Structure 1
Amino acid sequence: MARNNRTVVPESRAMLKQMQYEIASEFGLYGASYGGGADTEFASELGVTGSSIGYGTPYLGHLTSRDNGSVGGEITKRLVKQAEQSLFK
């Protein structure tokens, strides 16, 4: 079966990535292990993005599937909530 896991609106990729790091930070998953611990909302402006594996992305190999799934689930909840609010305005 082919994977259809593509972003429908490619311009939203940066917003979704930022939301991912903000939620992970709220859950205490991102930043604590790197000594950075910076608020991810301002981390990119400050040039603090955690440890890197050489490709400009932080290494997050210590996170479990359950941790990552909880972040993904929270993203979905928030996006649904935003969509509902925009429909009922």
Structure 2
Amino acid sequence: MAQGQKRNALVVQAATRALDQLKYEVASELGIATPQDGYWGTMTTRDTGAIGGNITRKLVALAEQQLAGRQ
């Protein structure tokens, strides 16, 4: 893949800000120090994986709640 191309494009572009906020919330819940300059590339794989895993867990739980409410 060429440099600068993203494989996972957001369907709703306005969700970018909400997902970014969720990233910082999850990091603080886990006690992981967030980078002051906004560059996450210097963080350990373990930390970023923990953040991503918890974000996924929260999003799946939210989707399950919404689907349960529709039935």
Q: Which has the higher contact order (CA 8 A, sep 6+)?
A: 2
Tell me if TM exceeds 0.5. yes
Alignment: residue pair count? 65
The correspondence for 1:27, drawn from 13, 27, 30, is 30
| Counterpart Cα distance in 1 of 2:15 and 2:36 | 25
Runs of 4+ aligned structure 1 residues displaced above 4 Å come to: none
For structure 2, which runs of at least 5 residues remain unmatched after alignment? Answer: none
Q: TM-score normalized by structure 2?
A: 0.77
Percentage of matched positions with identical amino acids: 43
| Counterpart Cα distance in 1 of 2:44 and 2:36 | 18
| Counterpart Cα distance in 2 of 1:88 and 1:51 | 39
Q: Which residue of 2 aligns with 1:84?
A: 64
Q: Which residue of 2 aligns with 1:51?
A: 36
For structure 1, which runs of at least 5 residues remain unmatched after alignment? Answer: 32-49
Q: Which residue of 2 aligns with 1:13?
A: 16
| Structural RMSD (CA) | 2.1
Greater share of helix residues, 1 or 2?
A: 2
Q: Secondary structure at the match of 2:31?
A: coil
Aligned AA (2:47): D
